[in-house]
Amino acid sequence: MKTLSKSEIQFLLLKLHSLTGIIPIGLFLVFHLGFNSLRTVGVQQYQFGIDLINNMPYLLWIEVLCIHIPILFHSFMGFYVAYQGKFNVFRYAYPRNWMYTLQRVTGGVVFLFLVYHIGTTLFPKMIEGKHLFEASPFLIGIMNEQMSTWSGRLIYLVGILSATFHFANGLWGFCISWGLLIGKDAQRNAGIAFMFVGLVLALWGVATMAAFALDPVSVEPVFSKGMSL
Amino acid sequence: MSQTVLIKIRRKDNPNAAPYWETFELPEKPFANVISCLQDIQKNPVNIGGVRVKPVVWDCNCLEEVCGSCTMVINGKVRQACAALIDPLEKPITLEPMSKFPAVRDLQVDRARMFKDLEQAHAWIDIDGTHDIGEGPAIDQETRHKAYELSQCMTCGCCLESCPQYTLDNNFLGPAVFSQARYFNMHPTGAMHKDKRLEPLMKEGGIANCGNAQNCAAVCPKHIPLTESIAEIGRQTTFHLIKKLFVE
Ligand code: HEM
Ligand code: HEM
């Protein structure tokens, strides 16, 4: 096999950046907001959802390989890509140029949000060793607390709106970069359709926040430590 | 009393000199355009302070918006000076050289990078060798129509000047080159060297560096569907990549 030049590797890394935005990160976002929205149905249903995930085999491997490493890679490449460009949206104030700019800004905002969000959920969960059925009461307690303050709500609102916009607009960029959307009208129509996708995701997230904020119920583990099924 | 127009020009005495602004006041003439004003300045290079200065340098050639050489930044937006009528422009008028190409002098820049990049992307159709290989296949009406649209590119640089991904010091090829690669790839004879055109676009500075800001198509004076070309090249390179990774 022929070895790749530095220049060809850069191309492949950019393609991988684009791909990781959809698979797995975009998929994760959809599932994550979807699972969390179970909270709007009821706290038991939500607990059941978290239990389901936290009792999955090889959970740590799945999380590290399919979520954490891709997000780190996408973020690292994202900052690299963002620094390569030069914003000119005030000179050329076209709608699409705004989207281009926002794509980069929201990427940075999502990164900051993730540091805070993972630092206040996954991280304490690992530190305090809350696994299996212990995890959901612990995490639900944390979310109740975060959604009880306006600063917490603001952080989540900004995080959710940024992530959903970034994903929706990213879906559009992805389809063009990989050649799925060619014609001018097709690009415009898909852009509108993807914004609806983003809107639905954002509503999901905001409804979840509202459920936590308006009705902070705490739960007990379904099974206690040491008990086996 | 006749009306006058103020023209503010961002000047530079040589490639390494510091830029400075100089304002000229000209009598307003009917149907004047930016080039005719620059010609008036050249005839009588006296600035608004009454000082006789070095005449302003600019590039131009065809004077009918088909050669691309008089491209400059007029009132903050890139376009051809010859097609910029004075009457509808907001006053005072500002003229700046394009910022994404090395400066030569005043409004003159060096667009050589564009031509080098076209060469890199094999943006031509190979001719026959020492012997005649016969007539090429006929091209259908629809393809010819699209090809005509793409053929109008005059390598003026508007798309690159407005592109946030294209900078003075990176090696991004930019929309004009992608569109030309598409143009020659859609020609039945040109398609025989399709891969030769796609390979250079699959490197650093290639198609993956496009950020889909779509300013290119918005400023293109020829209304070339550049964003469509970008997506089409995206598709061709995707297939080429799959072929390279999983088929060959
Ligand atoms: C309604 C809003 C949200 C809620 C209630 C929520 C809740 C949670 C909870 C409870 C965890 C810990 C999961 C566990 O360790 O088992 C978590 C992890 C995580 N969240 Fe969120 N989240 C929300 C929004 C978001 C958004 C918008 C993003 C996207 C940027 C996001 C990205 C993540 C990531 C990357 C993790 C770590 C994944 C892992 O467990 O390995 N979350 N979230
Ligand atoms: C919830 C997490 C994230 C998701 C779901 C996500 C998703 C996406 C998607 C789908 C794309 C489109 C790819 C393309 O245009 O081909 C994209 C592009 C981009 N992402 Fe993310 N991303 C996330 C986090 C981040 C972070 C943390 C950064 C860090 C700055 C970032 C920076 C970027 C940049 C700069 C682009 C534009 C790439 C380009 O247009 O060439 N993203 N993202």
Instruction: Output the domain CATH number for residue A48.
Output: 1.20.1300.10
Q: How many angstroms separate the CA atoms of A186 and A162, rounded? A: 25
Please answer yes or no on whether B215 and A11 come within 8 Å at the CB atom: no
Statement to judge: residues B127 and B243 lie in one domain: yes
Beta bridge pairs of residue B77: B74
Helix (H, G, I), strand (E, B) or coil at A65: helix
- Indicate whether A220 belongs to any domain: no
Q: What is the ipTM of this complex?
A: 0.95
Statement to judge: residues B63 and B158 lie in one domain: no
Statement to judge: residues B126 and B241 lie in one domain: yes
Question: Could you tell me if A212 lies within 8 Å of chain B, comparing CB atoms?
Answer: no
Q: Looking at ligand 1, which atom is closest to the CA of residue A54?
A: 16
User: In the predicted model, what is the mean pLDDT of residues A171-180?
Assistant: 98
Write down how long chain B is: 248
Owning domain of residue A200:
12-214
Rounded to a whole number, what is the distance in Å from the CA of A88 to chain B's nearest CA? Answer: 6
- Chain B residue numbers with beta carbons less than 8 Å from the beta carbon of A91 are 76-77, 162
Rounded to a whole number, what is the distance in Å from the CA of A99 to chain B's nearest CA? Answer: 7
Task: Select from B85, B109, B133 the last residue of a domain.
Answer: B109
Mutate to test the pocket of ligand 2, among A13, A14, A17 (most ligand atoms within 8 A of CB): A17
pLDDT at A229 over 80: no
For residue A226, the model assigns a pLDDT of: 57
Please answer yes or no on whether B227 and A181 come within 8 Å at the CB atom: no
Q: How many angstroms separate the CA atoms of B89 and B7, rounded? A: 11
- Of B185 and A226, the structure prediction assigns the larger pLDDT to B185
Which sign, positive or negative, has the C-alpha torsion A75, A81, A86, A91? negative
Q: CB A207: neighbour CB atoms within 10 A?
A: 14
Indicate left, alpha or beta for B10 from its phi (over 0: left) and psi (-120 to 50: alpha).
beta
Total count of domains within chain A: 1
Residue nearest to atom 20 of ligand 2 (CA): A78
Total count of domains within chain B: 2
Residue nearest to atom 36 of ligand 2 (CA): A78
pLDDT digits (tens, 9 = 90+) for B160-191: 999 999 999 999 999 999 999 999 999 999 99
pLDDT digits (tens, 9 = 90+) for B109-123: 999 999 999 999 999
For residue A227, the model assigns a pLDDT of: 56
Owning domain of residue B123:
112-247
Chain centroid offset of residue A109 CA: 12
Q: What percent of chain B has pLDDT over 70?
A: 99
